[in-house]
Amino acid sequence: MKTTFFFTLAALTTTVFSQTEFSAFGADSSAIQSTVDGFRAALGPNNGVGPGIINPDGRREINWDAVPDSFSSPNDLPANFFNNNSKRGAVFSGAQRFRVSADNDNPTNTPPLFAEFNPDYANTFSVFSQQRLFSSVDSNVYDVEFFVSGSNTRGLTRAFGAVFTDVDLNNLSSIEFFDQSDRSIHTMFVNGQGDFTTNRSLSFAGAMFAAPVISRVRITLGNSALGSLDGDGHDVVVNDDFIYGEVVPEPASMVALAGGLLVNLRRRKSK
């Protein structure tokens, strides 16, 4: 009996950490649109903005575009903006500063596409959603931690995906997924052309797990922080849209998680 239980638990543990990957890249938004839409459809309806769990089978999105000028370049974005100001359950960490790019109509005349860091960026990056992009500052690596929207309660999501612009070199940019024990459960590389011959490309990478097991993701943007000249071995990369599953509270244990999966499977079967 006991053996059967642990065997079942082990099988379920393997099941919850299994994942489906979605990835695409190309010269413009049309190259990744169908993959992004497929990821959205797999995650369910858009829960928009608001506290708590709106629909556990839905998704959240951040496209950066409605961030006010006062929280966009040349100003930093507060790390908890998307849990405090605009409640979507995502808090940034792992870097000291974060920045949303300026739009083409702002009081300080800051150029779009992060060109204030390096004028060449006007021809390096492009957008999936008009007009704002996102990046960590002084570091090409940062984390996204998940909270039950609008609260201080750590939570889990079942999926996370993001748009990247100007990925030149392969097997550098990545999304690494961590569970509630802070264990790395998966790494997905975000690829592009594979050399420096192109600019303004868009890439999408996302992974959907069988259950909500993702507590944090670590995002690696190329190999150089914002400000470096793109090329000659320095791959500068920034983000556009984030798409992720609704954040739900952490279960007390893996047994509870496995139980939750069983309930979920039964619920799906009965639909």
Binding to Ca ion (CB under 5 A) within 229-248 occurs at: 230, 235-236, 240
Q: Which of 22, 25, 39, 64 binds Ca ion (CB under 5 A)?
A: 64
Phi and psi at residue 33, in whole multiples of 5°?
A: -55, -45
Q: Which helix (H) or strand (E) holds 2?
A: helix 2-16
Q: Minimal distance in Å, beta carbon 101 to Ca ion?
A: 8
63 binds Ca ion (CB under 5 A): yes
Q: Minimal distance in Å, beta carbon 150 to Ca ion?
A: 22
Q: Which of 168, 179, 246, 250 binds Ca ion (CB under 5 A)?
A: 168
Q: Minimal distance in Å, beta carbon 141 to Ca ion?
A: 15
Best CA proximity match to 112, nearest among 80, 58, 65:
65
Binding to Ca ion (CB under 5 A) within 190-229 occurs at: 199
Binding residues for Ca ion, rule CB under 5 A, total: 12
User: Residue length, the chain?
Assistant: 271
99 binds Ca ion (CB under 5 A): no
Distance CA 48, CA 5 (A): 40
Residue 62 has what DSSP assignment? E
Q: Minimal distance in Å, beta carbon 229 to Ca ion?
A: 10
Q: Minimal distance in Å, beta carbon 129 to Ca ion?
A: 4
Please state, in angstroms and as integers, the Cα–Cα distance from residue 162 to each residue in 16, 23, 76, 224, 244, following that order: 21, 10, 20, 19, 9
Please state, in angstroms and as integers, the Cα–Cα distance from residue 109 to each residue in 99, 104, 123, 130, following that order: 16, 8, 18, 17
Using CB under 5 A, list all residues that contact Ca ion: 63-65, 129, 132, 166, 168, 199, 230, 235-236, 240
